[in-house]
Amino acid sequence: MNSDRDRLTEVDVGTVHPVLVEPFRTRFWVEDEMVRDCEITYNAAHRGIERILEGIPLAKAHMITEKVCGLCSHFHLWNSIRVTEKAMDLEVPERAEYIRVLIAELERIHSHLFFLGHGCETMGQETFTYRAFALREPLMRVLYELTGNRVHYAVPAIGGVRPRANPTPDMLKNVSSMLDELEKGLMSFIDRITTDPMVLARVTGVGVLDRKVAEEYHAVGPTARASDVDNDVRHHMHEYDHFNFDYITLKDGDVKDRLILRCLEIPESMRIIRQVLDEIPPGKVGTVPKFKYDTEFATTYIEAPRGELFHSLRIDAEGKVRNYRIRTPTPPNLTCMEQACIGDQLTDAILTIISCDPCLSCSSRALVVDMGTGEEKVVDFREVKAKC
């Protein structure tokens, strides 16, 4: 933290700003248009998810965890189911694991396209923005074909996946055909955006996050990998042992690499999807779970589109959730962006912060601070409801 803030000019951005999809406040301290210090506050969208989960039945809890984030709802539900299965020591049929991975990689492409569209909008490249969202639409139709929903697909269930998400041979053939045309569009878009001289001139050398700082502040996901940190939880997920694909890392650590890395991950996700469609094994997609209650704490990690996603819980003797904890990729990545934007021109600093693809709705927690005494307390659901 810079100790010379008094001699600098403070510029506040947010919580509502035209280029910010999410509500957070950024305070820049600038000198001659150059950012010398930065502080990000992101508690405007607190919902108290963890507190709401306390003491409710598992089935209801999984309905809520899927709603933590709209853009990566499958990853939150999948990890919520995974941590429950780990606590209960349940095994999942191989076919169900393939289906979970299939939806995950489709959603990863969906998320990366959303990021690219938003990033191009921030740069003023509206044509690329429209193209990104035009490609997003056929991808959502593929998800609808497989799950019956365009958002909140509700595919994983304890012990496997829901029967309606078990694709028939005709469905797999149809999806493969739909992906043929989509893949052509994706490859064309990626080729254009990663070679466009106006885009590259705008992002090259901006918001540099070097590897040492990325490791010190625990960057995760594409933000870390763009700074040459080989941090991809899929290395350690047994569900991905079936598939061949490349883990992408880049070395420059600037906005350019954070953009290009996501572009390069899209074809790798498509490779995984093709392998699922071609090699999905026959068999059951679920087992009748033998519910085990009064468990020890269980924790699981998963590689969401933005990076490492952590879920932890304990199940009490009545089969209710206790001590649920969620850690999302955004807090460590935003902390890294506070460092990366130092030295940027003010007009580039917002682009730097956006380049970690922050998601605030899944990061904030409910906390009330008495401004008179400074005392903090976590409020319960009834109090939140009464205040609303």
Residue 198 above 50 pLDDT? yes
Greater model confidence, 308 or 10: 308
First to last CA, the chain: 36
In this structure, is residue 290 part of a structural domain? Answer: yes
Q: Is the dihedral of CA 360, 361, 365, 370 positive or negative?
A: positive
CATH of the domain at 179: 1.10.645.10
Residue 388's pLDDT band (boundaries 50, 70, 90)? very low
Of the listed ranges 28-37, 129-138, 153-162, 194-203, the least confidently predicted one is: 28-37
Strand partners for 377: 368
pLDDT of residue 287: 86
In this structure, is residue 340 part of a structural domain? Answer: no
Given a contact cutoff of 8 angstroms between Cβ atoms, the answer to whether 311 and 325 are in contact is: yes
Share of the chain above pLDDT 70, in %: 89
Q: Burial level of 288, CB count in 10 A (0-12/13-18/19+)?
A: exposed
In this structure, is residue 41 part of a structural domain? Answer: no
In this structure, is residue 349 part of a structural domain? Answer: no
Residue 374 above 70 pLDDT? no
Spatial CA neighbour of 111 closest among 79, 133, 96: 133
Given a contact cutoff of 8 angstroms between Cβ atoms, the answer to whether 138 and 178 are in contact is: yes
Strand partners for 31: 34
Greater model confidence, 200 or 19: 200
Share of the chain above pLDDT 90, in %: 66
How many domains would you assign to the chain? 1
d(CA 116, CA 131): 10
Residue 17 above 70 pLDDT? no
In this structure, is residue 42 part of a structural domain? Answer: no
Spatial CA neighbour of 243 closest among 253, 233, 234: 234
In this structure, is residue 318 part of a structural domain? Answer: yes
pLDDT of residue 369: 56
Spatial CA neighbour of 180 closest among 136, 127, 134, 142: 142
Strand partners for 286: 160
Give φ, ψ of 14 to 5 degrees: 95, 180
pLDDT of residue 302: 96
Residue 262 above 70 pLDDT? yes
Give the position of tokens 């763009």: 226
- In one letter, which amino acid is 51? R
Given a contact cutoff of 8 angstroms between Cβ atoms, the answer to whether 299 and 310 are in contact is: yes
Greater model confidence, 44 or 235: 235
Locate all alpha helices (DSSP H) within the chain, ordered by sequence: 49-53, 58-65, 73-88, 94-123, 126-147, 169-193, 197-203, 211-216, 221-225, 255-279, 330-340, 346-354, 381-387
Residue 231 above 80 pLDDT? yes
In this structure, is residue 347 part of a structural domain? Answer: no
* SS3 label, residue 53: helix
pLDDT of residue 277: 96
- Full domain range(s) for residue 314: 47-326
Of the listed ranges 30-44, 106-120, 249-263, 344-358, the least confidently predicted one is: 30-44
Spatial CA neighbour of 239 closest among 89, 349, 78, 129: 78
CA angle 91, 96, 100 (to 5 degrees): 110
Given a contact cutoff of 8 angstroms between Cβ atoms, the answer to whether 256 and 200 are in contact is: yes
- Report pLDDT digits (tens) over 66-102: 988 888 899 999 999 999 999 999 999 999 999 999 9
Mean pLDDT within 104-123: 93
- In one letter, which amino acid is 223? T
In this structure, is residue 378 part of a structural domain? Answer: no
Q: How far is CA 220 from CA 150, 217, 368, in A?
A: 27, 9, 29
Mean pLDDT within 328-354: 90
Of the listed ranges 31-45, 171-185, 243-257, 279-293, the least confidently predicted one is: 31-45
CA angle 225, 228, 230 (to 5 degrees): 60
Mean pLDDT taken over the chain: 88
